[in-house]
Amino acid sequence: MPITGFTLERTTTTMLQEIIHSAQRRGDVRTVKRVNCILAFARGFPFSIIASIVNVSEESIRLWVKAFMLKGPAGLKSNKPPGRQPKLTKTQKKELDLLLTEGPSAAGFTGACWRSPMIQHMIYQKFGVSYSVQYIAQLLKNMGYSYQKARFVSDHKDPKKREEWLADKWPKIIKLAREKDAAILFGDEASFPQWGTLTYTWAKKGEQPTVKTCGIRKGYKVFGLIDYFTGRFFYSAQEDRLKSESYAAFLLSVLNKTREHIILVQDGARYHTSKAMLEFFKKYESRLTVYQLPSYSPDFNPIEKLWKEIKKDGIHLHYFPTFNDLVVKVEEVLIMFGKLSQKVLSLFGFYRELTRAVDSAA
């Protein structure tokens, strides 16, 4: 008599999920597979679909369903095979390393980064070796991996334009700067919020540190430029919203403070590329040459590192009861970094290495 579908009470479903979690911690992949088959069948999936997903025969699933209907969860218990648990060979570890390098998507997972249960499942599927979730961490450490916090990478990045910037645009900028004896200024803007910013700090275990905040959503905005050759730091701060008019005024003030030709490297913010700014650049083209960074490439702009340093020294873990308190503190740190040309120059390490490579190849 064929088995028809059945439904599970919420308490039964919860119990089965707990069984899965417990089995995963033990490295009992067989029990995990059996319970998942029961849950899938209860959700209306036919044996044929379930069998293709978990890579077992339809008859095995029928037997597991019958055992569950007769004995409940006890009928799904998996007896461990006799003998010592098999381990990955050196060859298999090399193959595993390649699979991990290719990423979860290539292995059929939906996640963007690896988690221990995913790796545990893949090892069993690929090599037939069952490890506990806890041991996966030790295995990965032995293979040279570490547990790290992921970072976002914009899907708007254009690899070709980024490569073009490194291989073509930057060598041209260096060549032009040497021909014109020009300054290369990397520009960007930052906003310093009155409500403050948080970072890691020391505290007793179980006693999370707290920092007072006014909760006012108001920020102090700063235009900035740093010089690749000298480490000079130009800036202009304001309370108002950043826009083309104020950006043009800032650039004009820098032109008035300098005599050399300026090569401006900027990102694609709207107030950098507006019609008004294009007219400004045209008007001052005898003193100003503009290069646009590739889209979504803050890692190519060294001043981004300077903003982090300023925020670390100026507003991290600070309380600003009034906006003026914020302004005074930010101005204090801006003035300090204006005097630290060597510190600013150290932010260009990436570009200095790139320049040396260009000169060596010439």
Q: Which residues contact 317 (CB under 8 A, 6 or more apart)?
A: 196, 197, 198, 199, 201, 211
CA distances from residue 31 to 37, 42, 67, 220, 248 in whole angstroms, order as listed: 10, 17, 13, 58, 67
Lowest mean pLDDT among 26-30, 107-111, 155-159: 155-159
Q: What is the dihedral of CA 211, 213, 218, 221, to 10 degrees?
A: -20
* pLDDT grade for 83, boundaries at 50, 70 and 90: very low
The pLDDT value recorded for residue 319 is 92
Task: Give the per-residue pLDDT at 107.
Answer: 82
Cα–Cα distance measured from residue 18 to residue 90, given in angstroms and rounded to the nearest whole number = 34
Beta-carbon contacts of 230 under 8 Å, excluding residues fewer than 6 positions away, are: 183, 341, 345
> The whole model's pTM is what?
0.63
Residues 173-214: tens digit of each pLDDT = 999 999 999 999 999 999 999 998 888 888 888 888 888 888
Question: Do 140 and 258 form a contact (C-beta atoms < 8 A)?
Answer: no
Per-residue pLDDT of 17-32, as tens digits, reads 888 888 877 777 788 8
Under DSSP, the state recorded for 316 is B
What's the CA gap between 93 and 65, in Å, rounded? 35
Q: State which amino acid sits at residue 21.
A: H
